[in-house]
Chain A
Amino acid sequence: MPRYELALILKAMQRPGTSAALRRTVETLMERGAIVRDLENLGERLLPYKINKHNQNHLRGSYFLIDFYSAPNILTSLLDHLHRDVDVVRPTVLKKDDQVSSSNCCGS
């Protein structure tokens, strides 16, 4: 199965809210048959610009990275679901490339 990465920007919330949102997202993924590999937290940071979503202006957000294996046909429905989630500011699914061999790297 191809390997994807969900770069999730959640609303700046308290800990229980964030953990609930994350739990919801991972459960959505698993419902659709994805296998979640890893969950990383990139911290709560200032957003690069004001984002207006769900009738709210956001200045800070918490960045999370979820890599998972899934079938490609679920992605559209998944993104649809995430766009509708009130706590999610911006969801982005990217394909994860295989590790490039760094043996013959130019410049070294």
Chain B
Amino acid sequence: MFQVIGGRSVQAARVLAPRSAVLVEAVRGRKSRTDPVAKSKVGRIKVPPPVDPVEMVVLKERYGEYQMIMRALRWQKVYAVLEFKEEMLRKKYEEDTGSLAEERARQEAQEHRVLMDLNHLENQRILKLTRTRAARNCQRKEKEILKLQEDVKNFITLENLDQRIEEALDNPQNYNFAIDKQGKVVKQTMLQ
């Protein structure tokens, strides 16, 4: 039936309502506008709660002071935040374009140059190593190719085939032997 109101209607109602109370307004509950008043409420006159004038004056003074102080503090906080932001911006600006910044930039450039030189030397050293390694590999590959070319003469071809088969059948190989540390054959099983 009674509902707490908030929003734009608050400002208007605040003028009429008592100062220290929460704003309430009558709200249509179950009955509509055209329904008659209930029998128990026929001669009812609504009386607001009585206001004590002395209490009213005292409260008004105290609340006035309190709200003044709170408002001042709130605004101070806002100003403090703004000042802080300004300081930060100023510091940043000084860092970027102040006198110290130039010195630092110069030092950094020097360091960069030194490091680049070191890097250059390293690269040259490694290039030399790579070249020697590549040459070594080349030589090894050449040796292998020569060896293979020698071996090619012993490979089996269609012409050699019969001859090689006869050779193989005539000479059975036996790999079942044991050797000692010097590489001499010690034991050998016989072919059955």
Contacts and interface: CB of A to CB of B under 8 A. Distances in A.
B192 interface: yes
A36 interface: yes
Given A35-B155, A36-B156, A41 B169 contact: yes
Given A36-B155, A37-B155, A37-B156, A23 B162 contact: yes
Q: Considering residues A22, A27, A65, which has the most beta carbons from chain B within 10 angstroms of its beta carbon?
A: A22
Contacts of A22: 165, 168
B68 to A, nearest CB: 95
Interface size class of B (residues with CB under 8 A): 20 to 34
Interface string A56-85: 000000001100000000000000000000
Contacts of B181: 107-108
A64 B168 contact: yes
Contact of A43 (B154, B155, B158, B172): B172
B172 A26 contact: no
A65 B171 CA distance: 13
B173 interface: yes
Contacts of B175: 42
B164 A19 contact: no
Interface size class of A (residues with CB under 8 A): 20 to 34
B191 interface: yes
B3 interface: no
Interface SS, A side:
strand
B52 to A, nearest CB: 108
A86 interface: no
A50 interface: no
Contact of B161 (A23, A37, A38, A108): A23
Contacts of B156: 26, 36-39
Interface of A: 15, 18-19, 22-23, 26-27, 30, 35-46, 64-65, 107-108
